[in-house]
Structure 1
């Protein structure tokens, strides 16, 4: 079987702030940007990896959600409990410094050697999504 991860989805509530974080701070390239105003689906991904993307989507644009569900999603996003992505890099310290200097995300954890053998750090993006970044071996 030949299956790969093509894209994952993360919610956003401010497309310009999402672009500032994923494009300008993390250095991802924009592969698509459709919609208008606050209702935009933005596809980003790491340069040189055209088959792996993150789609930043507006939960408010989902016609299948009830008003109560939209409120719940908004509350979870505000708490940082709705979306998460794990990324990896060869130079964790450099990426941490870049994100911290970019002032586009909230530092949750500085680079740390975890007891289970991983060195990582964590941020919240502007929508509250947890972004963990691991050091590649």
Structure 2
């Protein structure tokens, strides 16, 4: 068994697609109509046959509540691995990304947390 798709609730699919592709660098894999919304999936540029991230609309009240509660408590909705948190932090700052936690070393990992502009906090992590 393996993870093939995971979802992330977003408050605006178009805005999320732009942020996740143009700012973060993910690659759009699918973008098809699904009722009043779209089935949008992204993949890592270096693993385009790997796990897909669905930009899921938070139109459901339970989803919206879940998303808001995570942000209120400062809990990231998901985590992305990077090879160098400090370099990624600097790169994203240049794109205007707002961080809620600057790069922080914790043992042999370094993490940082940013606002994805679509209702989520996202953590990046570097393993040494």
Tell me which interval the TM-score lies in, with the shorter structure as reference length: 0.7 to 0.9
Q: How far is the alpha carbon of 1:98 from its aligned partner?
A: 2.1
Superposition deviation, residue 17 in structure 1 = 1.5
Structure-2 change in CA distance of 1:83 and 1:91 (3 Å): closer
How far does residue 106 in structure 1 lie from its aligned partner after superposition? 3.0
Distance 1:88 1:6 in 2: 17
Q: Establish whether residue 111 from structure 1 lines up as the match of residue 103 from structure 2.
A: yes
Q: 1:59 corresponds to which residue? A: 58
2:90 pairs with 1:97:
yes
Q: Deviations 1:41-95 (Å, cap 9, x if unpaired)?
A: 21011112122111011132xxxx5xxxx1x533443452687111111121221
Please tell me whether Structure 1 or Structure 2 has the larger radius of gyration of its CA atoms: 1
- Choose from 103, 123, 128 the match for 1:132: 123
TM-score by length of 1: 0.76
Give the Cα separation in 2 of the matches to 1:21 and 1:13: 12
CA distance in 1, matches of 2:91, 2:17: 15
| Structure 2: 5+ residue stretches without partners | none
Instruction: Give, in whole Å, the separation in 2 of the partners of 1:106 and 1:118.
Output: 21
Which has the larger share of strand?
2
SS at match of 1:24: helix
Q: For the aligned residues, what is the CA RMSD?
A: 2.4
The whole-number CA distance in structure 2 between the counterparts of 1:98 and 1:33 is: 27
Runs of 4 or more, structure 1, over 3 Å off, are none
Deviation per CA, 1:16-62, whole angstroms, max 9, x where unpaired?
220222101110000011227x72221011112122111011132xx
Query: How many residue pairs get matched?
Result: 124
